Amino acid sequence: MNYSSERIFSTKEILDVLKRNKKWVSIFTILSGVVFAIISLFLPDYYESEVILYPASSSSISQSLLDKNVKSRDILKFGEEEEVEQVQQILQSDLIRSRIIDRFNLAKHYKIDNQSKYQKAELYDAYDENVTIRRTKYNSVKITVIDQNRDTAALIANEISNLLDTTMNFLQKTRALKAFQIVEKEYNKLQEEINFLNDSLSKLRALGINDYESQSEVFNQALAQAILKNDKNAIRELEQKIKILSEYGSSYIQLSNYLEFQTEELSIIHSKYAEAKVDLEQNLPHKFVVSAAFPAEKPSYPIRWLIVLAGMFSTLVLLTFILLIFEK
């Protein structure tokens, strides 16, 4: 059995039945158009507003501007695929959604029953139906909001865009604060240790120890000359100085070397401290807005002519099928 014989109705049968009943088909199709046109007039108008933005590069400000040992990334450069995905996820996050819902009182705006058992789920569903965030083929992110109020649609779209910077800064500062506290603690600890070393060396200098190696050489030479001259006062004074130098000289050398080492460490920690402080205090925008939202001049939905056309076509198909069944 071939394909044509398996069909319930042939094209010829369909055309014949339409031709025989064209008067009634035309009347009912036109009437359906009128009915759908009237119905479409009662449907609420929805206005659409959208924001188009590009994510900024997610490079660290401290590394881009302060760290000479790290190849910096241009902070003015548009973000790449990874940044686009991050921005899209944050814009769709519960942090931003909750703030938008609270700020615009969307539960009341969407007429969600506050006594409903599934109030939160219904509210989130309504939000997701009216707010769309998607990635474009040009690696930008489009925020689209539809609402019965044209001003509200534009305000929500722009506010979602604005909250991107606030949310990303909050997330980054939470981590940056922990890093800064760790570096600050280490920096202060090292500074206190250096102060202690300086105080210890100051006490040794008060005893007359300023440079162990050169003083030791000078004192021994002077002692030898004093012995040759049999200068007992000079010998006694120089022996006292050499005794102090011998007693505290090694401590002076150890403290001096350790102070030098710790001072170099402090310089390294200080650079890390400065970087962490910049990361903590930075408030740069994380996006480039190329198209902000504005109140739409005309509604985007419903498309009434499409509703009428679809209704008339559906009526035509249904009538044709009924007539074919009736004649069979």
At 262, the amino acid letter reads: Q
Mean pLDDT of 66-90: 66
The whole-number pLDDT of residue 50 equals 94
Sheet of 47-55, strands arranged across? 131-135, 141-147, 47-55, 287-291
Question: Domain residue spans in the chain?
Answer: 11-43+302-321, 179-281
Lowest-pLDDT range of 35-44, 193-202, 313-322: 35-44
DSSP string computed for 278-312: HHHH----SEEEEE-----SS--B--HHHHHHHHH
Q: Mean of the per-residue pLDDT values for the chain?
A: 79
Tokens of 322: 């009924």
What are the pLDDT digits (tens) for 51-73?
999 988 765 555 555 555 444 45
pLDDT above 70 coverage of the chain, percent: 75
pLDDT class of 98 with cuts at 50, 70, 90: very high
Do residues 86 and 54 touch, judged by C-beta distance below 8 A? no
Q: What b/e sequence results for 254-283 when a residue is b if at least 16 CB atoms lie within 10 Å of its CB, and e otherwise?
A: ebeeebeebeeebeebebbbebbebbbebe
DSSP string computed for 178-223: HHHHHHHHHHHHHHHHHHHHHHHHHHHHHTT-S-HHHHHHHHHHHH
Q: Give burial (CB, 10 Å; 0-12/13-18/19+) of 154.
A: buried
The whole-number pLDDT of residue 153 equals 94
Cα distance between residue 296 and residue 50, in whole Å = 10
Mean pLDDT of 80-87: 82
- With CA atoms as reference, report the closest residue to 156 among 109, 89, 87: 109
What are the pLDDT digits (tens) for 229-266?
666 676 666 666 666 666 666 677 777 788 888 888 88
- With CA atoms as reference, report the closest residue to 89 among 168, 170, 174: 168
Mean pLDDT of 171-180: 82
What are the pLDDT digits (tens) for 136-164?
888 889 999 999 999 999 999 999 999 99
List of residues 6+ apart from 244 with CB closer than 8 A: 207, 208, 209
Cα distance between residue 65 and residue 231, in whole Å = 66
Q: Give burial (CB, 10 Å; 0-12/13-18/19+) of 112.
A: buried
Reply yes or no on whether the pLDDT at 328 is more than 60.
yes
Q: What b/e sequence results for 40-54 when a residue is b if at least 16 CB atoms lie within 10 Å of its CB, and e otherwise?
A: beeeeebbbbbbbbb
